Structure 1
Amino acid sequence: MGVGGNFWDLLKPYARTEGFDFLRNKRVVVDLSFWIVQHETAIKTHVRKPHIRLTFFRTINLFSKFGAFPVFVLDGTPSPLKSQARIARFFRASGIDLSDFPVAEEGISVERNGAFSKCVRECVELLELFGLPVVKAKGEAEALCAQLNSEGYVDACITADSDAFLYGAKCVIKCIQPNSKEPFECYRISDIEAGIGLKRKHLIAISLLVGNDHDLDGVQGIGLDTALRFVQAFAEDEILNSTSNGEGCMKKPDGFKCDCPSCGVAQKEKEQKKQENWRMKVCNKIAMQSNFPNEKIIAMYLCDNHGYFAGKDGPCISWGSPKTEMLVDFLAFNQIWEPSYIRRMMFPMLSTIFLREMAVNPVKTLLYGQYEFDSVLRVKIRYGHPFYLVKWIKVASALGSAMYTIPTEESDRQQNVIASDESPNLLEGPDVPEIHVDEEGCFYLLTDENMDLVQAAFPEKVDSFLREKELKESKRRKSSSLRSEGTIEKPESKGVQLSITEFYRSTKVQIQVKPGGSDKASDGSGVENSKGKREVSSPNLSKSVRRRLLFN
């Protein structure tokens, strides 16, 4: 949820759509709970353990398709304030009187339900088998995501929780549409500051007025528009003091002159009487709210210690190699997938890791002892972005193993159950490598790879491909030039297939009309003579073409 009152709608005009390579070679932190809770709405049909499925495909696509280095953050123990708000939200949804709900006492928190915790544990096991870093927050995951972003450990956060801005996040990716030229919907705090003049403390003040995850109600009678207009009148250093319910903001008898900061700012700026009255009305509403502002919520948002690490070194974040066979066993057990299908789905991630390693230290020749980089087949344009279509060949030493079999089409359909109305802004769509079998029975895998990465890993292969491409292009230009000059003779060989224009031009019957004669060969009954038709047919046509002309 985050900040209440349709807070995302306020920020929407200042969002950017970033291109395909926005996260290429960048570190990005993911709020894992944000991914897991989506499985209930993302897949409408029955899928076995959808949280594992979505995490599997999203991780592979984020790593290989977008070239990012993902870091995953888990929720810790929720604060008593969050626990109390969670209980209140549940009671409201159930139609229970809120006056009867229990209060979470100091130091007592309500843990998440067991089913959700099990989903988290299974996803964590999957990510650790991938060799990806997973860190746990003390409290809210978005708080640690924001801290890692603000301190420069990562370049962006992937979360839909707007609280991330209040915790200090600088760049938040709210959603991803992978099948697009500009897949990332990105929000930067610098754009928000420039657009509506709101900084971190302004956003905290708005959340106190309209409600948040720790205080669902906020101030009664104050909506998002009123809160925005109110906080914009204050500097960042003053805004949290202006919302205080000190003596200056308490309702006083008529004729009393208030000296509180909010009234002082109004007098200094010499606002019109209407503006002064409006602001006083807001202050009166704030004054009527008991225990406002909640200093614990403010301290929590401004805290910069949300992880279990200390010192200048910060968190230990590193990326390891996937444990392929253990991943196959894990997914075969939990998803009932065929090992060949699992390896095929994992191949784009493995090839990306292999190319990165080859670019740094070109000593390996085989991809996990199974496949060898063969060549660049062609340039492929996908959603307006160019990739190299790379050809991977199965090495002879691995042909006798049971490492890989080509899955049937029916098997693919069974493994890939997704609802037709599934939301397009998710990452669960598998980026399946193509299978190519040559005439000799040897098969290849074709993957889309980043052009710069392939160039860095196999510069000689890329140079060879570019030379061949340039040679073909040169021949095509030369042929086109000769054709335009009319110097190319038409083919006369029977074994050469004519172009469609030459074919249809040659099928037209050309008859010389003699003076006073008929314009067609006729037997007197008005029916064209087939013999005459054969006589005027072009002698350049093959026998089979002439036969088709006679019977059509």
Structure 2
Amino acid sequence: MSGASYLVTFFNRIQRLIEPSVANSHVKKSKRSGGHGWNLDAHNELKKRVYNAEQLLNNMGVAVVMGGSDGEAQCAQLEQAGLVDGCITSDFDYFLYGGRNLYKVDFKNGGREVESMVNLFSMDKFEATQCLTRNRLVALALLLGCDYLQGGVNRVGIVTAREIISEFSINDDDHALTILDRFGSYFRGEIPSRPSDSNTKKKLRRAKITLPDGFPNSDLFIEAASVYLCPEVKEKKELPTPPPRNMAKVEFVTD
């Protein structure tokens, strides 16, 4: 096979996943609203590559699902609907969109081989061992920075962020912005300290953190939280029927 290198690698990876008889549906991403802008040439090249990849999948007999604004969000919807068991991805935003089971598969040798270990990351385990619900993960992402809120909160690292989540989460279903609002009000002195406050909570009140104006009720934080908690997805109740395999066309598609 002598086609474009990205298609050859993509073919090898999909072929390795098909071999164990994994029921496979590939979610095609639509445009992502966050991140950096694209110039016209880059945009056209991306469209061409996506089209070529979609044709390759069709010829390999893999069903393609058109996503909304983000592929991981659409995959999470498919899992929530009971149509798939999880998502093979390296993007942990999958959990922020409501996914439960993320399978991380590492490839080597240009996608021709799969590493011996396939890692499963499960929300059930995160909730049981780390007390991290979806809303708490979203709150963490907003504090540390994410695709839709670059930079996060100044001078907040992973340790401080975990402490904030631990100290200001009350109920399992607390909204991400509610958790952050409690912290913001306490940090700014709008909520008085109490003798019962933990040492960690008192330390957070004195922390050298610079909160953005309006934290966390500014448009930037509200919109970022909404993208993860109310993502733009297409409600799927069934998966498309996989097209018939036509491996004779695979080499043509990769030319």
Task: Give the conservation status (yes or no) of the 8 Å contact 1:147–1:304.
Answer: no
Residues 147 and 306 of structure 1 are in contact (CA less than 8 Å); yes or no, is this contact kept in structure 2?
yes
Larger Rg: 1
Name the CA shift for 1:285/1:245 in 2 (closer, same or farther; >3 Å).
Answer: farther
Query: RCO higher in 1 or 2 (8 Å CA, sep ≥ 6)?
Result: 2
Counting only pairs closer than 5 Å after superposition, residues 480-495 of structure 1 correspond to structure 2 as: none
2:181 alignment counterpart = 244
2:118 matched residue in structure 1:
184
**Structure 1 residue aligned with 2:22:** 68
Give TM-score scaled by structure 2 length: 0.82
| Cα distance between partner residues in 2 of 1:247 and 1:187 | 31
In the TM superposition, 1:502-541 aligns within 5 A as none
User: How far did 1:163 drift?
Assistant: 0.7
SS for the counterpart of 1:290 is: coil
Give me the whole-angstrom Cα distance separating, in 1, the residues matched to 2:140 and 2:165: 7
Stretches of structure 1 that go unaligned for 5 or more consecutive residues are 1-46, 91-109, 336-552
SS at match of 2:143: helix
Q: Does the C-alpha gap of structure 1 residues 112 and 211 become closer, same or farther in structure 2, counting only changes over 3 Å?
A: farther
1:536-551 matches, cutoff 5 A: none
Distance 1:275 1:291, change over 3 A: same
Aligned-pair distance for 1:151? 2.4
| 1:281 shift after superposition | 3.3
User: Over residues 325-374 of structure 1, what are the superposed CA-to-partner deviations in whole Å (9 max), with x where a residue is unaligned?
Assistant: 4x2xx514744xxxxxxxxxxxxxxxxxxxxxxxxxxxxxxxxxxxxxxx
**Residues 28-64 of structure 1: CA distance to partner in whole angstroms, max 9, x if unpaired?**
xxxxxxxxxxxxxxxxxxx740122122222222112
Change (3 A) 1:75 1:111: farther
Aligned-pair distance for 1:160?
0.9
Q: How does 1:177-216 map to 2 (within 5 A)?
A: 182-216=116-150
Contact 2:69 2:232 (8 Å CA) reproduced? no
1:122 is aligned to: 52
Alpha-carbon shift at residue 128 of structure 1 (Å) = 1.2
Residue 153 of structure 1 and its aligned partner are, at CA, apart by 1.0
Alignment partners' CA distance in 2, 1:198 and 1:144:
22
Q: CA-atom RMSD, angstroms?
A: 3.0
Q: 1:276 to 1:58 in 2, by over 3 A?
A: closer
Deviation at 1:226, TM superposition (A): 0.8
Counterpart check, 1:322 vs 2:245: yes
Aligned to 1:441: none
C-alpha distance in 2 between matches for 1:292 and 1:224: 18
Amino acid at match of 2:180: T
Q: Assess if the C-alpha contact under 8 Å between 2:187 and 2:205 holds in 1.
A: no
Q: Which amino acid aligns with 2:142?
A: L
Distance 1:55 1:136 in 2: 18
Give the deviation of 1:70 after TM superposition: 0.9
Matched, 1:86 2:36: yes
In structure 2, give the amino acid aligned to 1:54. Answer: T
2:153 corresponding residue in structure 1: 219
**SS of residue paired to 1:117:** helix
Equivalent residues, number: 242
Map residues 9-20 of structure 1 onto 2, 5 A cutoff.
Answer: none
Contact preservation (8 Å) 1:77, 1:111 = no
Alignment of 1:281-360 (within 5 A): 281=206, 285=209, 288-293=211-216, 294-303=221-230, 305-307=232-234, 309=235, 314-325=237-248, 327=249, 330-332=250-252, 334-335=254-255
C-alpha distance in 1, partners of 2:184/2:160?
23
**How far did residue 213 of structure 1 move?**
0.5
Amino acid at match of 1:170: R
1:69 Cα offset (Å): 1.1
Indicate the residue corresponding to 2:76 in structure 1: 146
Alpha-carbon distance between aligned partners in 1 of 2:47 and 2:182, rounded to the nearest angstrom = 40
Q: Equivalent of 1:160, from 90, 114, 118?
A: 90
Q: How does 1:391-402 map to 2 (within 5 A)?
A: none
Question: 1:218 deviation in Å?
Answer: 0.4
Q: Percent identity?
A: 22
Deviations 1:163-202 (A, max 9, x none): 111001111012235555x531110111111221111011
CA contact (8 A) 2:164 2:204 kept: yes
Offset of residue 323 of structure 1:
2.4
Query: Residue 205 of structure 2: which of 270, 274, 280 is its match?
Result: 280
